[in-house]
A = this chain, B = another copy of it.
Amino acid sequence: MGTDAVRVAVLGASGYAGGELVRLLGAHPGVALTFLGANQAAGRTLGEVHPHLGATAVGGARLRPVEAEAIVDEADAVLSALPHGASGELLPPLLDAGLRVVDLAGDFRLPASAYPAWYGFDHPAPERLADAVYGLPELFGDAIREAALVANPGCYPTPVILGLAPLLAAGWLEPGPVIVDGKTGLSGAGRRAEEATTYAASQDSVRPYRVPLHQHTPEMERGLELATGRGVTVLFTPHLVPTVRGVLTTCYVPLAGDADTERLTATLADAYAGAPFVRVLPAGEMVDSKRVRGTNVVELQAIADPRTATAIVVGAVDNLVKGAAGQAIQNLDLMYGFDAAATLPRLAVYP
Contact = CB atoms under 8 A, between A and B. Distances in A.
Interface of A: 16, 19, 23, 26, 50-56, 176-177, 179, 181, 183, 185-187, 189, 191-195, 197-209, 211-212, 233-235, 237, 239, 241-246, 248, 250, 252, 279, 285-291, 293-294, 297, 303, 305, 307-310, 312, 314, 316, 346-351
B307 A235 contact: yes
A347 B235 contact: no
A208 B179 CA distance: 16
Nearest to A346: B55
B245 A310 contact: no
28 contacts: A16-B200, A23-B349, A51-B288, A52-B347, A55-B279, A55-B347, A183-B206, A191-B200, A193-B195, A193-B197, A197-B198, A197-B199, A198-B199, A199-B244, A204-B243, A204-B290, A205-B246, A206-B243, A207-B287, A211-B303, A212-B303, A212-B308, A212-B310, A234-B308, A237-B252, A239-B250, A241-B242, A244-B351
Given A197-B193, A347-B26, A351-B244, A179 B310 contact: yes
Contacts of A287: 207-208
A231 to B, nearest CB: 13
Given A212-B305, A307-B235, A291 B52 contact: yes
A242 B52 CA distance: 19
A305 B235 contact: yes
Given A54-B279, A183-B183, 12 more contacts: A26-B347, A51-B291, A52-B348, A183-B241, A185-B204, A199-B203, A199-B242, A203-B351, A233-B308, A235-B305, A235-B307, A239-B250
A186 B198 contact: yes
A29 B252 CA distance: 44
A52 B195 contact: no
> 7 nearest interchain CB pairs?
A205-B290, A186-B199, A294-B349, A200-B351, A181-B181, A193-B193, A212-B305
A235 B204 contact: no
A351 B201 CA distance: 6
A302 B23 CA distance: 28
Contacts of A207: 248, 286-290
Contacts of A241: 183, 206, 241-243
B195 A194 contact: no
B294 A294 contact: yes
A246 B209 contact: no
A234 B252 CA distance: 12
A237 B308 CA distance: 12
Nearest to A316: B206
A192 B201 CA distance: 11
Contacts of A297: 55
A71 B309 CA distance: 47
Contact of A237 (B23, B208, B250, B346): B250
Contacts of A55: 279, 297, 346-347
Contacts of A307: 212, 233, 235
A307 to B, nearest CB: 7
